[in-house]
């Protein structure tokens, strides 16, 4: 896809990978709208990047999702790219039963259901638009799950399967579907889990990762990995099983 001259909505664009994508797309000459739940983080992002348009929205709320779609379609009729990036990650211990799952944010609604519903809501608007695309952010953990985060991994495996199926379905409408598969990137994701793993900090910064993503998008690579996840995209089942054993014996 041409990464310049688009009108792009990025969910979860107030920090981390989403904000780095917003910056890169602004620099490439696109109009960029970002949404997230915390207004102060959105305003901070807009202060640093005055070209940014911001909207408070919890993508897991049906009402707020509908309002977002209405607001974007009315105010930014040229919108031709949706980036489903908003996500949360939690460590959840099922040896204790259902309690931990119920006690926190619902990763299935935020990470999987929201991208599915937003895609469906925006398809009619994207149809016929030049350079139309949906970019879904999954995770290496959707290919090689980490036992400490079972629901997160399931949500991201779902994003992968949905992206493959949606790509096949809506390409005839002229809408390209990309999947971005990040490895561990240094962001605000799952601060409690990272602290529990001794303050784990990824070596890869969001800006460096997103530079590779932009190249992948420009080259029309429908599945974009980086480092370890580039390997996952080409791995055999035996390779993936080996990675699973390695990862889960460490943590």
- Tell me which residues touch ligand NAP (CB under 6 A): 11-12, 14-18, 35-38, 41, 57-60, 85-89, 110, 137, 139, 182, 184-185, 187-189, 202
* Catalytic position from the list 122, 143, 152, 232: 152
Q: Supply the minimum distance, in Å, between the C-beta of residue 245 and ligand NAP.
A: 20
Query: Would you say 43 or 171 has its CB closer to ligand NAP?
Result: 43
Please write down the long-range contacts of 247-251, taking CB distance under 8 Å and 24 or more positions apart: 247/144, 247/146, 248/146, 248/147, 251/146, 251/147, 251/148, 251/197
Q: Which of 116, 152, 140 is nearest to 239 (CA)?
A: 140
Which C-beta is closer to ligand NAP: that of 25 or that of 189?
Answer: 189
In whole angstroms, give the CA distance from residue 44 to residue 172. Answer: 39
- Pairing, β 176-180 against β 133-137: parallel
Cα separation, 217 vs 234, in Å, equals: 18
In the complex, least distance from residue 125 CB atom to ligand NAP, rounded to whole angstroms? 19
- For ligand NAP, the closer of residues 145 and 182 by Cβ is 182
Using DSSP's 3-state secondary structure scheme, residue 93 falls into: coil
In the residue annotation, 152 being an active-site residue is answered as yes
- Pick 11 or 129: Cβ nearer ligand NAP: 11
- DSSP bridge partners of 180: 137, 224
> In angstroms, what is the minimal distance from the CB of 137 to ligand NAP?
5
Kindly give, in sequence order, each residue whose CB lies less than 8 Å from that of residue 219, ignoring residues fewer than 6 positions away. none
Shortest gap between Cβ of 214 and ligand NAP (angstroms)?
A: 15
Q: Looking at beta carbons only, is 173 or 233 nearer to ligand NAP? A: 233
What is the rounded CA–CA span in Å between residue 8 and residue 31?
A: 6
Quote the least distance from Cβ 174 to ligand NAP, whole Å.
26
Q: What is the widest separation between alpha-carbon atoms in the chain? A: 51
Q: Distance between CA atoms of 190 and 198, rounded to whole angstroms? A: 13
Residues taking part in catalysis: 152
């Amino acid at each position: 896809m041409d990464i310049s001259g688009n009108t792009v909505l990025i969910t979860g664009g107030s920090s981390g990978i989403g904000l780095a994508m917003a910056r890169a797309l602004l620099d490439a000459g696109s109009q960029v709208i970002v949404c997230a739940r915390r207004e102060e983080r959105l305003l901070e992002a807009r202060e640093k990047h005055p070209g940014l348009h911001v909207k408070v929205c919890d993508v897991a709320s049906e009402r707020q999702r509908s309002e977002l779609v209405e607001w974007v379609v009315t105010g930014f009729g040229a919108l031709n790219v949706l980036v489903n990036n908003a996500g949360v990650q939690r460590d959840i211990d099922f040896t204790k039963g259902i309690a931990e799952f119920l006690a926190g944010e619902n990763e299935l609604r935020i990470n999987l259901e929201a991208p599915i519903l937003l895609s469906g809501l925006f398809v009619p608007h994207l149809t016929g638009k030049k350079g139309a695309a949906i970019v879904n952010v999954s995770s290496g953990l959707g290919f090689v799950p980490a036992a400490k985060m079972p629901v997160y991994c399931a949500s991201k495996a779902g994003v992968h399967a949905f992206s493959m199926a949606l790509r096949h379905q809506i390409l005839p409408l002229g809408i390209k579907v990309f999947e971005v598969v990040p490895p561990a990137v240094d962001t605000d994701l799952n601060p409690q889990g990272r602290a529990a793993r001794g303050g784990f900090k990824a070596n890869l910064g969001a800006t460096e990762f997103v530079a590779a993503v932009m190249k992948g998008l420009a080259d029309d690579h429908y599945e974009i990995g980086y480092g370890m996840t580039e390997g996952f995209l080409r791995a055999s089942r035996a390779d993936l099983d080996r990675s699973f054993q390695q990862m889960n014996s460490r943590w």
